[in-house]
Structure 1
Amino acid sequence: MPMRQLGKTGVAVSIVGLGGFHIGVPEEKEGIRIVRTALDRGINFLDNCWDYNDGESELRMGKALRDGYRQKAFLMTKLDGRTKRAAAEQLDQSLRRLGTDRIDLVQIHEVIRDTDPARCFGEGGCVEALTEAKKAGKLRFIGFTGHKHPDIHLAMLRAADAHGFAFDAVQMPLNVMDAHFRSFERNVLPVLIDKGIGVLGMKSMGSGILLESKVVTAVECLHYAMNLPTSVVITGCDSMGVLEQAISAAIAFKPMDRASVEVLLAKTRDAAKDGVYEKFKTSEKFDGTVQHPKWLEGAQI
């Protein structure tokens, strides 16, 4: 399994990471099997979130990490709470579900509103909770995620600079269609590289919606994202077959030359227009905290 450095953390992570939402889709036994097989095959980056499948994804991952598997994993989860109190409570709940006393990376989830940067960094905001939790040894690194608009990511990074804060990792959509529409690749990726922040690529297939365009394959999607300066490309695997596809794509990956990249971009240019297949940018379908705004305030699932 190819490994890459996670920004300035000094940690090596697998080129492909296991998405947390999808392990809550099959039966519990199968979800646990997917996690353990991924770790046995060399994937060490595990993604999750406090709200995935009403907490079931974290519970399953916690069970999968028993019997010595925790030491194989770089464990990441995300929190919705925007207040210090809400974030602290959700973090403690995630620690209990995951069965660990320390999470490797905790990220502020769904930074998708223009108001999020000021709220997160404001007095009594979630950044205070994460900073204190890091000092207390509950987490190692801090990041944020979002999928709506690159300008919001840039605003979050500016807010961090203004408060003398440095993120360790940032998660965002990176795929063959993003390059053509509201592009995180073109607008945010260079900033992260310049700052030495770990780049977590997601939505390489847009939850499979990109494949509905019929202009690109799953392996092409994965390889395009891997070819960018990503630390890890996180992909959802709800079956052993999909997991095997991700592992095989990672092992087979070879750096692409510019001509090969241009071929993929040319194939996807028309389909990418107006974000038709990037529903996470153009609709609220993937906005869990829009559908459940109380999660931002600390309401329990």
Structure 2
Amino acid sequence: MYRKQFQDKEISALGYGGLRFPMDKDNPSRIDREASQKLIDAAIASGINFFDTAYTYQAGDSERFLGEALSKYPRDSYYLSTKFYADAGVTIEEAFETQLERCGVDYFDFYLFHSLDENFINYFMDPEKDCLGYLIKQKKAGRIKHIGFSSHAGPDTLEKFVNWYDGFDMAIIQLNYLDWDLLNAKRQYEILTEHNIPIWVMEPLKGGRLSELNEEARAILKEAAPERSVSSWGMRYLMGLPNVQVVMSGMSSLEQLEDNLKTFDHFDPLSEKELEVLKKAAAAFRKDLGVPCSSCRYCCPTCPMELNIPVLIKGYNEWNMSKALWKVAELITEKTPDNCIGCGVCLHHCPQKIQIPEVMSKFADIIKENDIDFTKI
């Protein structure tokens, strides 16, 4: 595992994202402690020393689990990052104290404003709430080492935020070879680089979609490098961006972890020739991209109908791509899209700005028009 210098720290180029730990089969709201501890132990044994979580990740259990999992290791042997979400229903003061308790630590190496966007920028910048002032106070007290933010904002909002305060130590943005153009991640990268803010990457494989691609795109990459995994192309693409400090991956299996460890064993960015191959594969994949959901699940806790929205969107995409009923049926194991009441609460939380009620309505129409009964497939 190669590391990169960040101020006075050496941080692993691959970081562990705490949003997708495997869940307990008997208790779907609780992280599977045994399976996830094995992942953390293997990650640390292989040189990963950066771990990221948030107040709302996996309904707060991500922070609790990471606190438990990392407690067996010396506190100065790893770097822990967490975040405050403006729509969590608590003040930043309440959240911060709760998070220290959940994680069982006295300080956070990195503490971030979570999910900056057009909805939350005014909350974070509100002088009456003085969120930034509180974090600066905690930093002076040694309870926070570095202050940053994660962002799903458009370029104009992002620029406004970094102009508001010039002391951010780092930022997390969604960055991958597809979103470089699709979600204008290129301009976001440029803005942060212009302000000398190191970048941590989230969604490097777009929630796993760049690990799968479609048949045509996979064939292009495999023909060019049969020995490399599809995922490794996306990771090595990011290695070639000089201002990327850490690439975070929410690894939910040992197979995913081992593949990423192999890729990050040493610095190995894509060559110019490989970049051309990747562009060709990306163009092939865009034809079947469908709804660009990354399965972050930010929409799920607030859905009054308790719909498994990412799974339903995956089913919608699968239908449009393959028309394979059995594949769609494998996904639709809970409530179907016709349960959506179109309230739009989810729209407030989707980082990808997906029109979720519209997708649910279209998928419900498909099911009705084709007289699909998932219980009989």
Asked if these proteins are the same fold (TM beyond 0.5), I'd say yes
What root-mean-square deviation, in Å, do the aligned CA atoms of Structure 1 and Structure 2 show? Answer: 2.8
Whether the aligned pair in 1 keeps the contact of 2:107 and 2:144 (CA below 8 Å) is yes
1:269 to 260, 266, 283: 283
- Structure 1 residue 249 displacement after superposition: 1.0
2:240 to 220, 224, 227: 227
> CA 1:284/1:53 → structure 2, altered by over 3 Å: closer, same or farther?
closer
- Counterpart of 2:272, as a letter, is R
Task: Determine if the alignment matches structure 1 residue 23 to structure 2 residue 21.
Answer: yes
SS of 2:21 mapped into structure 1? helix
Whether the aligned pair in 1 keeps the contact of 2:200 and 2:245 (CA below 8 Å) is yes
Single out whichever of 271-280 and 38-47 deviates more from structure 2: 271-280
Equivalent position of 1:107 in the other structure: 112
1:131 to 133, 136, 142: 136
> CA 1:19/1:34 → structure 2, altered by over 3 Å: closer, same or farther?
same
Deviations 1:141-194 (CA, angstroms, capped at 9, x unpaired) = 11111235343322321222xxxx41111101111101221221x202123223
- Structure 1 residue 286 displacement after superposition: 4.0
In 1, distance between residues paired with 2:35 and 2:154?
A: 35
- Structure 1 residue 134 displacement after superposition: 1.1
- Structure 1 residue 13 displacement after superposition: 1.1
Whether the aligned pair in 2 keeps the contact of 1:80 and 1:108 (CA below 8 Å) is yes
1:1-301 map, 5 Å: 1-6=1-6, 9-23=7-21, 25=23, 27-81=32-86, 86-112=91-117, 114-123=118-127, 124-147=129-152, 149-160=154-165, 165-184=166-185, 186-214=186-214, 215=217, 217-229=230-242, 230-269=244-283, 271-272=285-286, 276=290, 278-279=292-293, 286-287=298-299, 291=346
> CA 1:24/1:138 → structure 2, altered by over 3 Å: closer, same or farther?
farther
TM-score of the aligned structures, taking structure 2 as reference length = 0.68
SS of 2:47 mapped into structure 1? coil
In 2, distance between residues paired with 1:81 and 1:107?
A: 11
SS of 2:43 mapped into structure 1? helix
Whether the aligned pair in 2 keeps the contact of 1:78 and 1:109 (CA below 8 Å) is yes
SS of 1:22 mapped into structure 2? coil
Whether the aligned pair in 1 keeps the contact of 2:2 and 2:266 (CA below 8 Å) is no
- Structure 1 residue 137 displacement after superposition: 1.5
Unpaired segments of 5 or more residues in structure 2? 24-30, 219-229, 303-344, 350-377
- Structure 1 residue 90 displacement after superposition: 0.7
Whether the aligned pair in 2 keeps the contact of 1:24 and 1:56 (CA below 8 Å) is no
Larger Rg: 2
Unpaired segments of 5 or more residues in structure 1? 295-301
> CA 1:154/1:263 → structure 2, altered by over 3 Å: closer, same or farther?
farther
- Structure 1 residue 72 displacement after superposition: 1.6
In 1, distance between residues paired with 2:198 and 2:231?
A: 24
SS of 2:58 mapped into structure 1? helix
SS of 2:83 mapped into structure 1? strand
- Counterpart of 1:238, as a letter, is S
- Structure 1 residue 109 displacement after superposition: 0.7
Equivalent position of 1:298 in the other structure: none
Whether the aligned pair in 2 keeps the contact of 1:58 and 1:97 (CA below 8 Å) is yes
Equivalent position of 2:342 in the other structure: none
Single out whichever of 56-65 and 210-219 deviates more from structure 2: 210-219
SS of 1:75 mapped into structure 2? strand
- Structure 1 residue 64 displacement after superposition: 1.2
- Structure 1 residue 246 displacement after superposition: 1.2
